[in-house]
Chains A and B, each alone.
Chain A
Amino acid sequence: MTESIKTDTAAGVSRRSLLKGGAAAVGLAAGSGAITGFPTIWAQNIKDVTLRQMGTGVSNINAIAEKCKEDLGFTLQMTALDSDAVTQRAVTQPDSYDIADIEYWICKKVFPAGVMQPLDVSKMKYFDKLVPLFVTGKLTPESAIAQGTAPHTVGFVTGQDSVEFAKEPTNWLTMIPTIYNADTLGIRPDLVGRPITKWADILDPAFKGKTSILNIPSIGIMDAAMICESAGIAKYADKGNMTKEEIDTTINFLIETKKAGQFRAFWKSFDESVNLMASGEVIIQSMWSPAVAAVRSKGIPCVYQPLEEGYRSWGGGLGIAKGLSGLELDAAYEYINWYMSGWVGAYLNRQGYYSACLDTAKAFMEPYEWAFWMEGKPAEKDILSPEGKVMEKAGSVRDGGSFYERMGKVACWNSVMDEDRYMVRKWNEFIAA
């Protein structure tokens, strides 16, 4: 276990230099200079290894690749794609990547295709530090499991060569969880002119022509379901796995709403949602948390509004391509353990996401940062993004509050349904209507 001792030292050094450095960003830069890599499989040729990682834009961050090069010595090539493109590439071109950084609902589609290899839990140094959400599905022992494709349901397979998802935790992980968050509606508090408390508020006739939902069928249908349930149009046994009748009800309602002119547009990419909101074309819409931050960073008020019915949540992780072996495979495990060891977790937490190993991330964050992001407390000083830009002024409080308040109110997870094919056909009808 020499490696874990060494890693702990690394964390310690960085924390000390962080404190010494004063301002977080400056301290971090200085701190990271102080740490050198602590390799475990230190064949010299590790430096020649290049791992190709592809995934959605959220966590394919160049800063992570740079830090990885610095700490571990090998090169990480990042390719960021939208979720549909990632799914396609994962299934159809399994030789074009080594590490897939994908969401759990994508994993549900991709893993059974046999293009990825399960991860050996016994090689995961921080497995026992994972948030239980990804192991048992419960945030705290008392919490209920949310609807939809909850990560733990597709988190394990029954054996090393199996593509069958296990009901209980096994020694074989499909992916190591890395990032997750709770999504809700974003609003322009200066323009809505009333308190927003429910998902159904997006249907308020006062907002006619000023609302939007996202046009990625597998996620959009979940937002639509939250809205329908909130408006009393439908009651779902499982929003993440609707029956044909439930899909019909939901889509027909969407079509009526669309025909009545309630929606201004449907967005598909992150920047579209930012532009819609920032330009005032739309004042209430489905949104992702960094999009809210992006609108705010333009000096335009935007709130990620917590709603009565709870959040629609998503989670992602890192999986390894089937073909990876030898030194590259060792490097991939090395990378994954490094990923969980805290620096990346702190980086993700500072962007407003959550990391899957909270304890290790905490060591890399200043106490006031932790209090703001994780405990829902008012910011003691200005909160900086990992790039050093001011995200929140001192005194502000995170929308939705603490980690447990937000992740504890997850109503459903992004999903793939059994009636996926039918749902997509109906979704196309909605867009064509």
Chain B
Amino acid sequence: MTFAHRVAPYLQALPLTLILGVFLVVPIAVIVMVSFWDYDSIRIYPDFVTFNYEETLFSFVTWKTYLNTLKFTFIVWAITLFVGFWVAYFLAFHVRTATMQTVLFLVCTVPFLTSNIIRMISWIPFLGRNGLLNTALVDAGIVPAPLEFLLFSEFAVVLAMVHLYTLFMVTPIFNTLMRIDRALIEAARDAGASGFQILTNVILPLAKPGIAIGSIFVVTLVMGDFITVRFMSGGQSASVGLMMANQISLLQYPAAAANAVVLLVVVLMIVAAIVRVVDIRKEL
């Protein structure tokens, strides 16, 4: 093999290596490094101290906040999976023509033409005490007084997150469903399988990679979210991201860095678990 032949593959891999190195590995290394530094109310000092981790790991607030974040993650994941799967199923199997499929899929993405903050905030006048929904319910005599739980509550947080993140579930699942060989479904039907059996024995197993990828999207987005939690709970509820945002805003970078490292580890563990259950390479 000539020299050029040996070098070529490395050159080909170089751009991606550089991009990942500069924009992923280096920042994470810096975060890990800073998480061991000392700080006061204005500055951070290079040092090697572990109390940032001690304060994070041995505080009941952290545990509560993580539990709360995990709770949001689980609920949002379950709902987006259910909704996302059926939307994708409808698009893939009930819509006949490819043109219509494309059109309807694009319709799903229309809300994404606006910023996600705008999409989130537009719930506020809708759900408020004197909002559209409450006014309608009270005027129609369905409820005697406005429902307070609709806004600035965990309900509102979950609702907004489901709204924001369902498409991240629809897209990969739709993609895998489209790749299922229709002959498999016909074969199952010929072999006497009921619709439900086809779903559980053919479609769901084949859709697993899409479900896994969608789940990774939703889990990482919800675990790292702070703005939805802040706005929709009216600051009443906490998430790990919000805890970090508070620390950063008070210049407590090492504490926030330690928190970020812990969060990264937790999210990586969840992703590892998902990848272990489902082989997402099948998708690729």
Contacts and interface: CB of A to CB of B under 8 A. Distances in A.
A88 B129 contact: no
A266 B236 CA distance: 7
Contacts of A281: 128-130, 151-152
Given A209-B148, A266-B235, A281-B128, A428 B246 contact: yes
B236 A427 contact: no
A416 B41 contact: yes
Interface in A233-281: 258, 263-268, 275-276, 279-281
B59 interface: yes
Interface in B148-174: 148, 151-152
Interface stretch (A64-72, A108-116, A136-144): A108-116
Looking at B61, B151, B251, the one whose CB has the most chain A CB atoms below 10 A away is B251
A85 interface: yes
Interface stretch (A44-52, A122-130, A360-368, A417-425): A417-425
Contacts of A431: 235-236, 238, 242, 246
Interface residues of A, number: 37
Contacts, number: 86
B274 to A, nearest CB: 27
Contacts of A275: 124
B241 to A, nearest CB: 12
A315 interface: no
B119 interface: no
B61 A428 contact: yes
Contacts of B55: 425
Given A110-B42, A428-B238, A279 B246 contact: no
Looking at B40, B68, B152, B238, the one whose CB has the most chain A CB atoms below 10 A away is B152
B2 interface: no
A168 interface: no
A424 B246 contact: yes
A73 interface: no
A345 interface: no
A121 interface: no
Interface in A87-133: 87-88, 91, 109-110, 112-113
Contacts of A428: 61, 238, 243, 246-247
B152 A265 contact: yes
A279 B128 contact: yes
B41 A421 contact: yes
A265 B236 contact: yes
B43 A268 contact: no
A109 B43 CA distance: 9
A268 B235 contact: yes
A64 to B, nearest CB: 26
Contacts of A265: 152, 233-236
Given A268-B230, A280-B130, A425-B55, A109 B238 contact: no
Contacts of A85: 249
Contact of B43 (A91, A209, A416): A91
A76 to B, nearest CB: 26
Given A112-B42, A265-B236, A280-B129, A427 B61 contact: no
B230 A432 contact: no
Interface string B237-264: 0100011001111111000000000000
Looking at B235, B238, B248, the one whose CB has the most chain A CB atoms below 10 A away is B235
A421 B246 contact: no
A280 B243 CA distance: 28
Contacts of B41: 109, 416, 420-421
Contacts of B250: 84, 217-218, 420, 424
B46 interface: no
B128 A432 contact: no
A164 interface: no
A389 to B, nearest CB: 23
Contact of B249 (A84, A91, A263): A84
Nearest to B129: A281
B130 A279 contact: yes
Looking at A113, A258, A421, the one whose CB has the most chain B CB atoms below 10 A away is A421
A215 interface: yes
Looking at A84, A258, A432, the one whose CB has the most chain B CB atoms below 10 A away is A432
B64 interface: yes
B27 interface: no
A267 B249 contact: no
A429 interface: yes
B59 A87 contact: no
Contacts of B151: 281
A268 B59 CA distance: 25
A376 to B, nearest CB: 34
B125 interface: yes
B70 to A, nearest CB: 14
Nearest to B233: A265
Contacts of A209: 148
Contact of B238 (A87, A218, A420, A432): A432
A87 B251 CA distance: 8
A274 to B, nearest CB: 12
B237 to A, nearest CB: 8
Contacts of B230: 268
A113 B124 contact: no
Given A91-B43, A421-B41, A421-B252, A266 B64 contact: no
A207 B230 CA distance: 22
A87 B148 CA distance: 36
B72 to A, nearest CB: 13
Contacts of A267: 234-235
A267 B124 CA distance: 14
26 contacts: A87-B251, A88-B248, A88-B249, A91-B42, A91-B43, A109-B41, A109-B42, A112-B42, A209-B148, A212-B234, A215-B235, A266-B235, A268-B230, A279-B131, A281-B129, A421-B40, A424-B247, A425-B55, A429-B61, A431-B242, A431-B246, A432-B64, A432-B65, A432-B68, A432-B238, A432-B243
Interface of B: 40-43, 55, 59, 61, 64-65, 68, 124-125, 128-131, 148, 151-152, 230, 233-236, 238, 242-243, 246-252
Given A267-B235, A421-B41, A424-B250, 7 more contacts: A88-B248, A91-B43, A258-B236, A279-B131, A421-B40, A428-B243, A432-B64
